[in-house]
Amino acid sequence: MTNKNPKTENLIPFNELSKEAIKEITKKGGVKSALVRQERKRLKDELLYLLASKDKTGKTMQTKICLSLINEAIRGKVQAYQAIEASIGEKPTDTIAQHITGEIDEKTINKVMDKLKEL
């Protein structure tokens, strides 16, 4: 008894399709990809416009959001602090990854483990 997935049982591999069929499939994929890119660009443009808009006091929405995020971080919300770090490019994992070059040998791993034990 074989387990057949009803979603994939009628699929034909590309190497068994005609060149015209492959061309049509890839064309549809390209058109869909372009539509998705356009939608993302439209969303980005709308968000940038709204972030630059000002309220009655003259503050931009971006400023108000940043202040709110900082206030949340001050209140102890770790996610808010992590969002701030990510926004300014200071995520600890990114910083660590930038400093690693080449292969890591056993001696280096042992040094790192010793430093971690000290903490």
Q: Is there a domain that residue 45 lies in?
A: yes
Judged by phi (left if over 0) then psi (alpha if -120 to 50, else beta), residue 58 lies in: left
Count up the domains in the chain and report the number. 2
Is the pLDDT assigned to residue 1 strictly greater than 50?
A: no
Inter-axis angle of helices 61-74 and 19-52, nearest 10: 80
Q: Are residues 96 and 59 in the same domain?
A: yes
Is the pLDDT assigned to residue 6 strictly greater than 90?
A: no
pLDDT in tens, 10-60: 888 888 889 999 999 999 999 999 999 999 999 999 999 999 999 999 999
Q: Are residues 41 and 61 in the same domain?
A: no
Q: Are residues 47 and 73 in the same domain?
A: no
pLDDT in tens, 60-104: 999 999 999 999 999 999 999 999 988 888 766 655 555 555 566
Look-up: residue for tokens 């630059």? 52
**25 Cβ neighbours under 8 A, 6+ residues apart:** 17
Of 100, 101, 102, 81, nearest to 91 by C-alpha is 81
Domain that holds residue 32: 18-52
pLDDT at 108: 75
